[in-house]
Structure 1
Amino acid sequence: MLRCNLICIGKLKEDYWRKACEEYEKRLHSFCRFTITELPESRLPDNPGKAQIQAALEAEADRILNLTANTFAAALCVEGEPVSSERMADLIRTLSLHGTSEISFVIGSSFGLSDRVKEYASIRLSMSAMTFPHQLARVMLCEQIYRAFQIINHGKYHK
């Protein structure tokens, strides 16, 4: 069974975001081994300088890259490729058919991802040209992964 990981920097603070992710996590267990891993966000002062932000991103990159070794990594970033739900399903289906056993979707902190993570990633994805809070983006990604599996399996969820 395909393993899908959602690797995120930071924790969900609000209960309603956690419950939404837990619901998709529960639904996804029918299709894959789905896990969400929350990595600690680097602590920064209120008005961090560019060097401080870069150092934080690099520290977060070390933690991310340790978890994504030997997986197909998809980095979610502003400069990524915008994909439709159907394209996401096709990506997961194609990877699975070609022997990929593990996919890791990576969401960075509010400052994004280090260039090292983006360069390591097998693909860069964008959810939208719009900006969303990280908590909502996480829920949206869980939903899109679930939708992709529904499309792959000809479920009634996607219309």
Structure 2
Amino acid sequence: MGKIKEKYLTAGIQEYAKRLSRYCKLTFCQVADEKTPDKASEALNEQIKKTEGERIMKNIRDQDYVIALALDGKMLDSVELSEKIGQLGIEGKSSVAFVIGGSLGLSEQVLKRADFRLSFSRMTFPHQLMQMILLEQIYRGFRILNNEPYHK
């Protein structure tokens, strides 16, 4: 959701995208986020998530294996995430879509479409920062899968 505004995050995302290019093909799809007023009602928050969810769903294809980042998702360590990535490859799932929601999270429609819900923490992170963290963990996962050294 939304554009990456901070230059340091853009640089970090570009760096991990470059590193990952030897392991997989990456495509980024950023959809516009909705402005959320302070003290918005629960009904308005749900409408915002629904609108954002519809934008996300337009970019998910039938053949995509969807991993939604969600607070109620399963927490994996780096080795377990690498095993998940490896297993998807073994199963022939060549298109994996990681979905990061906006400040309110993901809509129920997106969560229902997800094949797997992943949580990095019970804490909340800005979605721009989460993109870089996710890329780093995917990169780490490929290094683990290939028995290549990487800082622990």
TM-score category of the 2 structures, normalised to the smaller one: over 0.9
1:1-159 pair list within 5 angstroms: 9-69=1-61, 70-159=63-152
Which SS does the other structure have where 1:13 is aligned? coil
Please list every run of 5 or more consecutive structure 2 residues that lacks an aligned counterpart in the other structure.
none
Q: Tell me if structure 1 keeps the 8 A contact 2:29–2:59.
A: no
- What's the offset of the Cα at 1:73? 0.2
Structure 2 length-normalised TM: 0.94
Aligned-CA RMSD value: 1.2
Deviations 1:112-154 (A, max 9, x none): 0011111110000000122322222221101001001111111
* Structure with the largest fraction of strand: 1
- What's the offset of the Cα at 1:158? 4.8
Q: Tell me if structure 2 keeps the 8 A contact 1:74–1:105.
A: yes
Aligned equivalents of 1:132, 1:41: Cα separation in 2: 16
- What's the offset of the Cα at 1:156? 0.9
Identity, in percent, stands at: 39
Structure 1 length-normalised TM: 0.90
Q: Which residue of 2 aligns with 1:3?
A: none
Q: Tell me if structure 2 keeps the 8 A contact 1:25–1:35.
A: no
When the two structures are aligned, how many residues end up with a matched partner?
151
